[in-house]
Amino acid sequence: MTMRLNNLSPRPGAKHRRKRKGCGESSGHGKTSGRGGKGQTARSGGSVRLGFEGGQMPMLRRIPKRGFNNKRFTADFATVNVSDLETLFESGATVTPESLAERGLAIRKFAGVKVLGDGELTKKLTVKAQAFSAGAKDKIAKAGGVCEELPLPVIHHKPKTTETK
């Protein structure tokens, strides 16, 4: 048998009929068109957010939370790019978290400062920070500067007490 254009057809199961909703009861999708009964979810544009239970306390809030979460112990760094150091400091300067705060960078309460490698650096700087990206270390070293890592501040957490009064 030779292959001709009139013999070509899609593979079995590749094509599906379109669901004809609301076209009478015999279509299988008549009356409510697969939307259930009446109410908010039956209306066009009407829906409730994920997990909403009609004002009842949702399942996610009813179940007790258990287990360990490490988020409380993560170090949140204020980020400073190499391009910021280029514009704010003159050659031979020493960059510290305090000097960055004076110039308007790293002003919020953070665990420390992390220097990132976005931009170019041509000035020789001594940069003191809690963390450096690999790109930032390379760019500071190529410009003849020095990277000094400062220790992370110790965060003391109050232990939970299980005593009852």
Instruction: Give the C-alpha separation, 48 to 44, whole Å.
Output: 12
DSSP letters for 41-58: GGSTT----TT--TTSPP
pTM of the model: 0.55
pLDDT digits (tens), the chain, 165 positions: 688 999 999 999 999 989 999 999 998 999 999 999 898 889 998 888 999 998 999 999 999 988 888 887 788 889 999 999 999 999 999 999 999 989 888 766 788 899 999 999 999 999 999 999 999 999 999 999 999 999 987 766 566 666 655
What does the alpha-carbon distance between residue 72 and residue 70 come to, in Å, rounded to a whole number? 6
* DSSP three-state, residue 119: coil
Domains of the chain and CATH, by start: 75-149 (3.100.10.10)
